[in-house]
């Protein structure tokens, strides 16, 4: 039996309609405040850290001594419940998937749980594998993919990664996993593509 590892932000809801843009803005503000730089410099730092470490947090931990727990609490302090509500169509869609569903997100556990609760789908996931359980080493770095497979005793051919970000999908493919890219865009070799999460049962039937 396969396991499906699902991303959360911009995957379980349409890109730009949920809380992630606010999280992204809070990350900008955090970098500006902690590193004492302006917005332009903060965004350059973020690009550098994401390229090198996979996330802004990785660079802030490495070069600026940032406490990851405090950082995650700060940047995820956004009004999730004001932006997302119960999605019966999403619930029906996920219930049609016959495989076990696991959250696979670079977000914090507390934030992910709030998003799932707001969407009304918390009970459909058997577990959450969030940034804390990745030892703060995020997708698309190979480490969390290896760790999640080890945790659940899975081989790559039995894993399906569903994500909206190309780098995350490419890592899954490179490791021998099945991959589904969510969102409109060019086709990706060896990955299934869907316009939105509501089409997921078409490729996971």
* pLDDT tens track for 120-172: 999 999 999 999 999 999 999 999 999 999 999 999 999 999 999 999 999 99
**pLDDT tens-digit profile of 83-118?**
999 999 999 999 999 999 999 999 999 999 999 999
DSSP letter string over 39-95?
Answer: HHHHHHHHHHHHHHHSSHHHHHHHHH---HHHHHHHHT-S-HHHH----HHHHHHHH
Report which DSSP code applies to 17: S
pLDDT, position 49: 96
Tokens 């405090």 label which residue?
A: 70
Helix residue ranges per DSSP H, the chain = 20-35, 39-53, 56-64, 68-75, 80-83, 88-95, 109-119, 142-152, 166-174, 200-203
pLDDT of residue 205: 64
Looking at residue 11, what is its pLDDT?
97
pLDDT class of 56 with cuts at 50, 70, 90? very high
Q: What is the pLDDT of residue 174?
A: 97
Q: How far apart are CA 198 and CA 12, in angstroms?
A: 9
pLDDT of residue 82: 96
Angle separating helix axes 56-64 and 20-35, nearest 10 degrees: 20
> Cα(174)–Cα(177) distance, rounded to whole angstroms?
7
DSSP summary character for residue 98: -
């Amino acid at each position: 039996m396969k396991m499906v590892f699902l991303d959360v932000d911009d995957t379980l809801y349409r890109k730009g309609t949920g809380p992630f843009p606010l999280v992204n803005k809070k990350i900008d503000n955090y970098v500006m405040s902690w590193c004492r730089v302006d917005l332009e410099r903060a965004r350059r730092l973020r690009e550098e850290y994401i390229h090198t470490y996979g996330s802004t947090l990785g660079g802030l931990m490495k070069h600026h001594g940032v406490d990851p727990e405090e950082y995650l609490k700060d940047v995820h302090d956004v009004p999730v419940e004001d932006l997302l509500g119960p999605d019966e169509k999403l619930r029906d869609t996920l219930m049609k998937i016959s495989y076990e569903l696991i959250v696979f997100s670079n977000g914090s556990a507390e934030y992910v749980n709030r998003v799932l609760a707001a969407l009304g789908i918390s009970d459909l996931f058997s577990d959450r594998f969030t940034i804390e359980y990745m030892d703060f080493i995020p997708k698309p770095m190979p480490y969390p993919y290896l760790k999640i497979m080890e945790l659940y005793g899975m081989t790559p051919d039995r894993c399906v990664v569903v994500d909206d970000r190309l780098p995350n999908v490419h890592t899954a493919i490179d490791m021998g996993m099945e991959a589904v890219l969510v969102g409109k865009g060019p086709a990706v070799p060896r990955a299934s593509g869907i316009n939105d999460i509501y089409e997921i049962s078409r490729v996971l039937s």
